[in-house]
Structure 1
Amino acid sequence: MSSRARRITATLGGLVAACATMTSVFAGSAAATPLDGVPNGITSITLTKSSADMRRIAEYWSPTRLKQAMDNVPAAPEMKSDGPPSSAATPGSATARSATAAAASATGESAAATTMAAEAGATTGGKGSAASGGSAPVVKPTLPKKRAPASGSSPVTVGKVFFRIGAKDYWCSASSVAATNRNLVATAGHCAYDAKTGSPAEYWIFIPGYDKGSTPYGIYVGHSLNLHEDFVGRGDYDYDYAFVTVHDGFRWKAGKTSGSYEMESVGSLEDNVGGQGLATNRGAGLSALAFGYPAAPHPDGSRPYNGQQLKWCRGLTVRVKAPTRLVEQGVALACPFTNGASGGPWLIFYDNKNSVGYLNGVNSFAWDVNTDRKYDRISSPYFIASTYVVYHWAATQQAPRS
């Protein structure tokens, strides 16, 4: 078992033992048959078939249980690897800095973003749309309808996902993405499905803008998990991403009797926080901001993060080919993230004023490249045309409404 490469997952520690068996606890759970009529190459798994299913999952994540889950520091199993990823170039320095500091190179990035926006044929704040820019589809980011974005702030589209596999609760990082259904979340594939045991996640929820346990923009229950079939069928981490359709959100408010709680609707995810765009086939050498909620210690035992606040890294992406069957092709950047950051977005052409950019990857693996027992590089699947196909299918799925 190599210490050089570990998957960045704050959620799947002890997974083999926990998921030897899994049973459905209600109709419409993740154990249901994948959706009919799904295009080739996509695995789509229904989590809820009705608003009653949605409420049952919401009630599972009571304020008490959610607080307990938020306080847990997850641990991840070691992943086999023959060594660190190889690359033709060395990533640029990735010192952690605020999203505001990303504006230092805004001039060049804004020009590139403008070109991408023209390809998408959409305007900021409008309906999420996609058009083909040659062979590379582009989805334009959108701004929230219910509030004005805070200039220079961290993106509130990013948050935590909580879910259950087997007998245990886990969490990961994720982000809202612009979509036709206005209720779509992007995360890592292993934050929605355990390919090793063939177990999809259950009781899946997303909390955007999570900060020290708060749920400022509501809680969003997962409706369907949408993944590339090679991740589900072959455990191929070159496709370690998932697009999860969610229901309209809710927040817990005090009930009429002491100690009770009631659900209060807050509307669609995109109306509340906006959605990041999406770009595929963009190559390497891009300035990217990686976001997430790292929590676990480095291999040497040091623990710089607690998983309660959003963190970020900034660097240049490079193409990598890792000498392991877990991931053969991908992109990487220098970053000291630890377990817990899994599923967090990589954003390119970042607009610091509106805190939006284009999703071009998700945190998947952490690497100790210089073998000093501290993670110093993270990697993501390389987003290609098939990534867009999974996205597009998920973006058109509608969760049942109350």
Structure 2
Amino acid sequence: MIPRARHLAAAALSSALLMLPALTGTAHAAAWNAHSATASATASAAAPTSKVYAVPLARTLADVKRVANYWKPDRLKKSDSYTPATPGAAAPVSTSGGAAAPATPVATVRRSLAAQSVPPVPPRKGAAMTMGKVFFRIGDKEYWCSASSIAAKNRSVVATAAHCAYDSRQAKPADYWIFVPNPDANGETPDGIYVGASISLHEDWIGKADYDYDYAFVTVNRGFTWVAKNGGYVMQDVGRLQDNVGGLGIELNRKPGSYTARPFGYPAGAQPDGTRPFDGKTLLECPERSTRYTVAPGLDLQKGVELQPCDFSHGASGGPWVIGYDKNRKLGSLNGVNSLTWNRDARDRYDAVSSPYFDTTTGEVYRRAAAQATVPKVT
């Protein structure tokens, strides 16, 4: 056992427990000062490029219907029994659903063109309901994570953790990926089901599972609901995601410590002491707190952002960090996603959560997802 004085960092929300020695504030500051210096140099020099990878999912009507038919009401009713995503654990290679398409680089985007901020957008009617769960399959087993709808010009973008969309160990996307905003108990989908069309993410998640890039923006097809008919179910088109539930804005390049944020998610996994205080059925939030920097070299996390206190566990992966959250409108701006959780005091419960830093490169990934077209009709 490692002594408590070392303040162990606990593990990915997405994986089996990974124990890391916590780093001192001096180490944190040095890493962030180096990052800030690099960013300043970049701004004053010719803007470099970085690669955004495009990973196709369901790009045709036949693809959408194949995924939809997998997630019929009988399967969705069992959704609470599925496993919060654990891609750090061994998973079987998929033997069904067809061969996965490889990730391919898209045209590089100059950093000077990436969005710095996008305002939140309300739905066409009613209150915003931007947060929900994503469901997918790895091998022959179903998993889920948290996620949120993000304002975008194509009105069809979901933000989540990269480990909730792409398995870097197998170099392939998750199968049968869907987003369900505002899910009810027993698998009900009052605001529709949205089948993923393509994933946009950074090459360093694909290539080496670098937790500095544990975020993904998934372009989704038009939504649908299942309607009972003649003893079975038929799909009914409900339109685009943002029109129905609204979209969080996005904020980039905010210096940790200069703003506060509030994390959301659907935690369900065990705490360090083995207890399970959360069931994954209810959207929960941690207190709004000032952000601070954090690093974890063992996970290639060199520019992380941390919030404390927060006792989220498995299942909250991919849930949004929101700044400027308006409880009446249920809107604000995305500035991170739940990626890792920490047990800083080595006691019975997790006490902090961290996100990759949302910088200009994040904006490039988001812009790619926001520019993608989808199937014009899903029924």
TM-score (norm. length: structure 1): 0.74
AA aligned opposite 1:184 = V
1:171 to 127, 130, 144: 144
In structure 1, the gaps of 5 or more residues are 15-38, 80-131, 150-154
Tell me how far 1:69 sits from its aligned partner: 2.6
Matching residue of 1:251: 225
2:84 to 61, 74, 78: 74
Q: Distance in 1 between matches of 2:236 and 2:88?
A: 41
AA aligned opposite 1:329 = K
Tell me how far 1:66 sits from its aligned partner: 1.5
Matching residue of 2:329: 354
**2:182 matches 1:209:** yes
AA aligned opposite 1:249 = G
2:251 to 256, 263, 279: 279
CA RMSD in angstroms comes to 2.3
Alignment CA distance shift 1:181-1:371 (3 Å): same
**2:215 matches 1:241:** yes
Matching residue of 1:381: 356
Identity of aligned residues (%): 49
Deviations 1:177-230 (A, max 9, x none): 000110110000000011122121111000001232331100000000110111
Conserved in 1, the CA contact under 8 Å of 2:318 and 2:338? yes
Conserved in 2, the CA contact under 8 Å of 1:13 and 1:75? no
Q: Distance in 2 between matches of 1:55 and 1:136?
A: 33
Matching residue of 2:369: 394
Q: Distance in 2 between matches of 1:168 and 1:328?
A: 32
Conserved in 1, the CA contact under 8 Å of 2:61 and 2:375? yes
Q: Distance in 1 between matches of 2:234 and 2:228?
A: 6
Matching residue of 2:155: 182
* 1:9-158 equivalences in 2 (<5 Å): 9=14, 40-74=50-84, 76=86, 137-145=116-124, 147-149=125-127, 156-158=129-131
Tell me how far 1:40 sits from its aligned partner: 4.9
In structure 2, the gaps of 5 or more residues are 3-7, 18-48, 90-110
AA aligned opposite 1:324 = G
- SS of match in other structure, 1:54: helix
Q: Distance in 2 between matches of 1:134 and 1:350?
A: 27
Conserved in 1, the CA contact under 8 Å of 2:160 and 2:217? yes
**2:195 matches 1:195:** no
Matching residue of 2:281: 308
AA aligned opposite 1:7 = A
Deviations 1:283-332 (A, max 9, x none): 11222111000001102111110000100012221111224234222101
Q: Distance in 1 between matches of 2:10 and 2:196?
A: 30
- SS of match in other structure, 1:163: strand
Conserved in 1, the CA contact under 8 Å of 2:256 and 2:293? yes
Alignment CA distance shift 1:263-1:134 (3 Å): closer
Q: Distance in 1 between matches of 2:348 and 2:85?
A: 16
TM-score (norm. length: structure 2): 0.79
- SS of match in other structure, 2:69: helix
Matching residue of 1:319: 293
